[in-house]
Chain A
Amino acid sequence: MRMVTEQVAPGVTKANLTGRLDIGGTQEIDLPFNALAGSQRALIIDLSQVDFIASLGLRLLIVGARTVQRKGGRMALLAPPIEVESVLISSGTDNVVPIWRTLDDAIAAVSA
């Protein structure tokens, strides 16, 4: 599991995740991901290169979104593949951390 961050608009950071958010992958990025969520107010998690997620990965995303929200910020998910999106929907995660198809929409959502 890899995580690379970039600034995609003023004050907006995008974290590009690559790999599987399975038990092993989630443990690999747990610390840097939580540190990132703790330091950003407008955060986009690009899931386009993530090909699996299970409840440990969902927990990572929900805890991260909550951390950002506590500071008055927003976190959004971007472009998950269909297999990952189906798990996000089955678990109701999409109800609480919005999923966007395009980067422009995600930037607008977290900047608002």
Chain B
Amino acid sequence: MTRSPPSVPESDGGFTLRVERSMAGLARLGGWLDGIAAALRLDTRSELALRLCVEEAASNVVMHGAPGDADAGFVELRVAPEPEALRVIVEDRCGAFDPLTVPEPDLPTRLEDARVGGLGIHLMRQYAKSIDYERRDGTNRLILSIPLTRALPLSREAGSSREADRQG
């Protein structure tokens, strides 16, 4: 079992994790997401969508990201609760890579033809409400909105996360 830091919400109600850009580094995601799901009391469907989108977005960075600079060895993840969605931001400093330009895969019909990659963005599109990509100051930023099947009981946090949105 890989240990992860406790998932404690920050002052604006969001959660942040910085991990090494490797599959071993991403093994920490599971425990981190457990903490978020517990802290926000996510229902099963919302937790599945969050886990799937975070895993796929982070895996894409490891598998497709080419080194850009000295900071390229890390992936930064942030989950911020909003009233009816979770905003997920995945950042890396590798060379520019927009996963939204990856064409939809042809789903396999025969085992011999089944591709063992390229499914990540397809799955994210199935489970996220929206996905946006931007490249700014040498950083790739993927922003996903994960629908919540029931609204979160937010008060002060909701206002804070909107403020965070404006700051980009």
**Are B23 and A90 interface neighbours, CB within 8 A?**
no
A87 within 8 A of B: yes
Q: Please measure, in the bound complex, the distance between the C-alpha atom of A69 and the C-alpha atom of B110, giving whole angstroms.
A: 11
Residue of B whose beta carbon sits closest to that of A60: B116
**Are A90 and B126 interface neighbours, CB within 8 A?**
yes
**A83 — which chain B residues lie within 8 A by C-beta?**
44-45, 48
Chain A interfacial positions (CB closer than 8 Å to B) = 20, 22-25, 27, 52, 54-56, 58-59, 62-63, 65-66, 69, 83, 87, 90-93, 95-97
B52 within 8 A of A: yes
Binds A, one of B24-32, B128-136, B141-149, B155-163: B24-32
Q: Please measure, in the bound complex, the distance between the C-alpha atom of A99 and the C-alpha atom of B45, giving whole angstroms.
A: 21
Most chain B C-beta atoms within 10 Å of own C-beta, residue among A65, A69, A91: A91
Nearest Cβ on chain B to A40's Cβ, whole angstroms: 16
Q: Which secondary structure dominates where chain B touches chain A?
A: helix
Chain B interfacial positions (CB closer than 8 Å to A) = 2, 23-24, 26-31, 44-45, 48, 51-52, 55-56, 58-59, 107-112, 114, 116-117, 119-120, 122-123, 126
Given the known inter-chain contacts A23-B29, A55-B123, A96-B108, please indicate yes or no for A87 contacting B52, CB distance below 8 A.
Answer: yes
27 contacts between A and B (CB under 8 A): A22-B29, A23-B23, A23-B27, A23-B30, A23-B58, A23-B59, A24-B27, A24-B28, A27-B24, A54-B56, A55-B55, A55-B123, A56-B59, A59-B116, A59-B117, A62-B116, A63-B116, A66-B112, A83-B44, A83-B45, A87-B123, A90-B123, A90-B126, A91-B107, A91-B119, A92-B108, A93-B114
**B110 — which chain A residues lie within 8 A by C-beta?**
96
Nearest Cβ on chain A to B110's Cβ, whole angstroms: 6
**Are A69 and B48 interface neighbours, CB within 8 A?**
no
**Are A62 and B59 interface neighbours, CB within 8 A?**
no
CB < 8 Å neighbour of B111 from A25, A55, A90, A97: A97
CB < 8 Å neighbour of A54 from B52, B111, B112: B52
Given the known inter-chain contacts A59-B117, A83-B44, A96-B110, please indicate yes or no for A91 contacting B26, CB distance below 8 A.
Answer: no
